[in-house]
Every structure is written in C-alpha cells, then in structure tokens.
Amino acid sequence: MTRLAPTLSTITSASTPLSVESQAYSKLAAVTPVVRQQMIVSTLLDTMKSVSFHNLIADTAAWFTHSNESNPMMKAIDQDNHHKIDQLASQGYLNQKAKVVLKNKAVHKMSPLLYAVMENRTKTVENLLRKGAKLESEAPKALMASIAHKNLAMVKLICEHVHAHGDFLNKHPEMSSPKLSPLLLAVKKGIPSIAEYLVKRGADIHQFTFGEPTPLCVAIKSKNERVVKALIAHADDLDVAFKENITPLMFAIEHGNKNIVKLLLDKGADSFRVIKGDCSPLILAVQQNKLDIVKLILDKMSTSDEDKNIALSEAMLSRQDSIAETLIKKGAGISQIGNSIEHETVLDTALQDQNTKVIKSLIDQGGDPNQKLHNGMTPLLYTIFNNDIESFKVLMNSKYINIDDGVDDLTPLNTAIGKNNREMVQLLIEKGVKDLKPGQISNAPLEFALTLGHTKIANLLCEAMISHHK
C-alpha cells in the first residue's frame, strides 16, 4: 500500500498549543514544497539526534516511514512496483541510501534493502538480495526489524545471507537502553518459531543484559510456555544462574508456573549443580506455597532426606498442611531432624503447633508415636501437659501408642488427673491403662485424685475399678 508523505498541517497540528518546534514549522508555509521538505529534514536531523533507531525498530507502531521523494527506488518500494525496482537496480540505485522520516519525525538514512525490511516486504527483500544489494552494515537493524514484524521468512533470509551465528546473534544492534538482542526481542514479541530458529543458529538463551533477565527468564516471567519450549528445545545446559543462585528452574518456581517447571524438569534442569546455600527448588516451592509444583519436584527430581525435612519444617511453620502431608508421604518422617539448632523432630514441631493433620500423617506413614521428644517427654505426655485434646485423640487412635509410658513416676494417667482433664482420663481408662487392669489395679490414681479434690475424676476411677472387680 502506498504511504503518503505527512503534510505540513499534520505535522503542525500534532500538539496544542503549538510547541516552539511546531511554530518553527509553521513559518515554512510560504516556501516551495521542495525547499520546505529539505528544511524539515534538516531541522529534524538537528533536533532528533537523541532518538534511538534501535528503540524504534523494537516497536513497529512507531514506524510511519516516508522516503525522500527524490529517491525513486524508495518510491518504487512504497508502491510495491517490482518492475520499476528491477529497472532502478540496473541504473545504480540498488544500494543508494536515502533519508527516511519515521512516525515520530525522526530521520534516518538507510538503504533500499533496509527500507524494504522496515516495510515488511519479503519478496522485495528477496529480490534485492538476489540482485546483489549490500546488507552487511545494516544486517543487525534489518534482523531486528524483521523480528519486530514477526516475519520468520525474512529473518531466515537475513540470517542466511550474512551467515549469522552466535557471535552475530548475541550482539546488541545499538548501545541503547534497554539493550535488546535479536533473541530477546523475539521472546518479548512472543514468537516461538523465530526464537527457536535463532537458538538453533547459536543465540544464547542465558545472555544477561543490563536491566533485563536472560531471554529464557523473560519467557518464563511472561508465562509463555510455547516460547519457553522453543528456547530449551536445542539448549545444552539449563542450569546457568543469571544472578546468584537464580537458575531458570528457580525463576520458574518463583513465578509459579507448573507447566513451565515441568518443561524444565523434563529437559533435565537440576539447580543443585550450581546453587549454593540452603534454598533448593523444593524448599522454594514450599515457600511459594505451590502444592502442584512441590508434587512435581518430588516426582521428577532426586531430593535428599535433609532437603525434604527442611521443606517439611517450612511447610509446618507456615501451616501449609497439604504440602506437609505430601512431603511426609514422600519420606519426610518424625525421626528426621527438623531444626538442627534445637534438635527438634518434625513431631516436636507438629505437637507444638497442635497440628493434628500433620501428626496423623506422620503416624499413618509409620512414624513412632512413642518417640521421645527433645524435652524427654513422650508425645502423649506432652499433649496432656498442654491440655491438647485433639492431638491427644490422634495419638490415642494409633495402633502402637503406649499409654503407660511416662517420665520417672509421671505417667499419662497421673498427669491427666493432675490437669483435672476428665475427658483424657476417660479415654485412658477406655484404652486400658495399666493401673486399672484386672490384677494390676492400684489405688494410687484414686488417692491422687482425692488429694487434689478432683471428685469427678475420682468417681470415674471408682467406676472403672468396680467394673474391673466384677
């Protein structure tokens, strides 16, 4: 489609009230069109030097290209007139550069070939290259423009023509901010086909640029699964940290996309090879409260007992019961050290938090309900001391609970009597506490209850003793 030159009225009406620059343009009305065009170009070149061509080509919305009408080749490209282009190429216009005005009034000098790329005319570009148009000096800009157009065919034309590989593809066309490599632009535009093609030719998915994460991490952050898949399809190493301890896998976990985490794990990502410190993929997933990712890591990664135990402690501290239960089912048990400073077991922590779900899960997975805690108490005795009836019930329902084991002369029954906890005493009696078994009946619990004045509990004990004598 033919693009018309911006008229003086469209230029000067762009801002209201008139800027100083616009007022200057309005004074050109009296001069001839040719002189006017020359003066506009000259003024723009002086005032728009700070505009980065690189920033413009990254955003096709900024391209309202208009060639200098004195260059017939540019006009032929505007009109998509291939016959005229062929004629002009044979007349020496093939590589003749001309000034081009962009939408924001910036002016750049470019070849017909780059102009055709900017206009997204693939056949014209192919024709000009076939006729010998020179591209080398403008190749980086042409490549970026073709990527911005999401034109894979033109990207291939340019790369194949200049034999573009790693060194070329990993350079920044201009030292401007932000610094976009071709691959990073393809990722930002969300074009998996171009991204994969560039990676196959040597573009670096881990290239770190000032102010931007790596191309792979940008794709992860945008949650673009198709682009991530394209980037890692031909990657040799996925465990390159772009910041201290931040690998693509850790970055994906932090941003919470299960499918992308799975893509990375399926390709062999293993952050343990490069990260240092206490944080691991599993622990990070727990900290992010991502149950689906926790399950994925447990299924697909080799995780140590220590790692699972630390992750379990994290889950319990933040009351992430579903995650805690999942970890316990995968081997985190009550005998594992949960806190190396205080030497607390996982069961210690669960009892302190009165977390019945975790307590039950630990016991269901084979944990010892009688294991002494870090303070020397049994779990059952600990629940009685704290009047934690719900945790007490969970322990009492265990097939292997020892209801008579205490500390010195402090038995569960005596402790429950001392706490005046009638419900706990009743449950201990029903479970068959030793002091009330036939042939082993002791008056000590009853005397203890009477001494304390706990008459209701004394009545319970009397009833139990009488029923056992019958």
Residue 251 domain-assigned (yes or no): no
Indicate the pTM of the whole model.
0.70
When pLDDT is averaged across residues 353-373 and rounded to a whole number, the result is 88
Amino acid identity for residue 19 in this structure: S
CA separation for the pair 362, 383 (Å, rounded): 16
pLDDT at 237 (0 to 100): 84
Higher-pLDDT residue of 17 and 68 is 68
Residue 418: C-alpha distances to residues 78, 376, 457 (Å): 97, 19, 10
Confidence of residue 344 (pLDDT cuts 50, 70, 90): confident
Q: What pLDDT score does 188 carry?
A: 92
Can you say whether the dihedral through the CA atoms of 288, 293, 294, 298 is positive or negative?
Answer: negative
d(CA 252, CA 259): 9
Beta bridge partners of 142: none
Residue 119 lies in a domain: yes
Q: Percentage of the chain with pLDDT > 70?
A: 76
In what side-by-side order are the strands of the sheet with 107-110?
A: 66-67, 98-101, 107-110
End-to-end CA distance of the chain: 107
**In this predicted structure, what is the pLDDT of residue 60?**
58
Mean pLDDT lowest among 204-213, 366-375, 397-406: 204-213
For the segment 37-46, what is each residue's pLDDT rounded down to a tens digit? 444 444 434 4
Query: What is the average per-residue pLDDT within 15-30?
Result: 43
CB 174 within 8 A of CB 52: yes
> Is 2 part of any domain?
yes
pLDDT at 269: 86
* Residue 92 resides in a domain: yes
**Prior bond of 178 cis (ω within 30°):** yes
414 inside domain = no
pLDDT at 456 over 80: yes
Give the pLDDT score at 285.
94
* pLDDT for residue 442: 75
Kindly state the average pLDDT of the residues 369-386. Answer: 91
pLDDT band at residue 143 using 50, 70 and 90 as cut-offs: very high
- Mean residue pLDDT of the chain comes to 80
- Looking at per-residue confidence, does 22 or 387 come out higher? 387
Most confident of the ranges 10-19, 119-128, 165-174: 119-128
pLDDT (tens digit per residue) in 381-417:
999 999 999 999 999 999 999 999 888 878 999 999 9
Alpha helices, DSSP H, located in 3-138 = 8-12, 20-26, 33-47, 53-57, 72-78, 82-88, 112-118, 122-130
Using the predicted structure, report yes or no on whether residue 312 has a pLDDT greater than 70: yes
Tokens of 287: 């900290």
Give CA–CA dist 30/36, Å, rounded: 9
The kind and range of the H/E element at 286 are helix 281-287
What is the tens place of the pLDDT at every residue in 230-272? 999 988 788 887 776 788 999 999 998 999 999 999 998 876 6
- Whether the per-residue pLDDT at 149 is higher than 70: the answer is yes
32 phi and psi angles, rounded to 5 deg = -70, 155
pLDDT tens-digit profile of 79-123? Answer: 889 999 999 999 999 999 888 877 666 778 889 999 999 999 999
In residues, how long is the chain? 470
3-state secondary structure of 241: coil
Question: Which residues make Cβ contacts (< 8 Å) with residue 313, sequence separation at least 6?
Answer: 338, 339, 346, 349
Over residues 23-30, the mean pLDDT reads 46
151: in domain: no
Residue 21 has pLDDT above 50, yes or no: no
Using CA of residue 193, residue 194, residue 199, residue 201, what is the dihedral sign?
A: positive
Q: Tell me: pLDDT of 20 over 60.
A: no
Indicate the pLDDT class of residue 153, thresholds 50, 70 and 90. Answer: very high
Instruction: Please give the pLDDT value at position 302.
Output: 84
Q: Is the dihedral of CA 95, 201, 119, 98 positive or negative?
A: negative
Do residues 344 and 335 touch, judged by C-beta distance below 8 A?
no
CA distance 36 to 29: 8
pLDDT value at residue 465: 84
**Which burial class, exposed, middle or buried, applies to 180 when counting CB atoms under 10 A from its CB (0-12, 13-18, 19+)?**
buried
Is the pLDDT score of 161 beyond 50? yes
Distance CA 359, CA 223 (A): 37
Query: How many domains are contained in the chain?
Result: 1
For residues 169-173, average pLDDT: 72
Q: In this structure, is residue 319 part of a structural domain?
A: no
CA 3 to chain centre: 43
pLDDT of residue 444: 86
- Cα 46 from Cα 73, distance rounded (Å): 26
Using DSSP, state whether 330 is helix, strand or coil: coil
pLDDT at residue 350 is higher than 60: yes
pLDDT for position 382: 95
pLDDT higher than 80, residue 299: yes
Alpha helices of 370-454 — where are they, by DSSP H? Answer: 379-385, 389-396, 412-418, 422-431, 444-452
- Percent of the chain whose predicted confidence (pLDDT) is above 90: 43
Q: Is residue 158 part of a domain?
A: no
Q: 2 is in which domain, residue-wise? A: 1-135
What pLDDT score does 458 carry?
A: 92
| Helix (H), strand (E) at residue 188 | helix 182-189
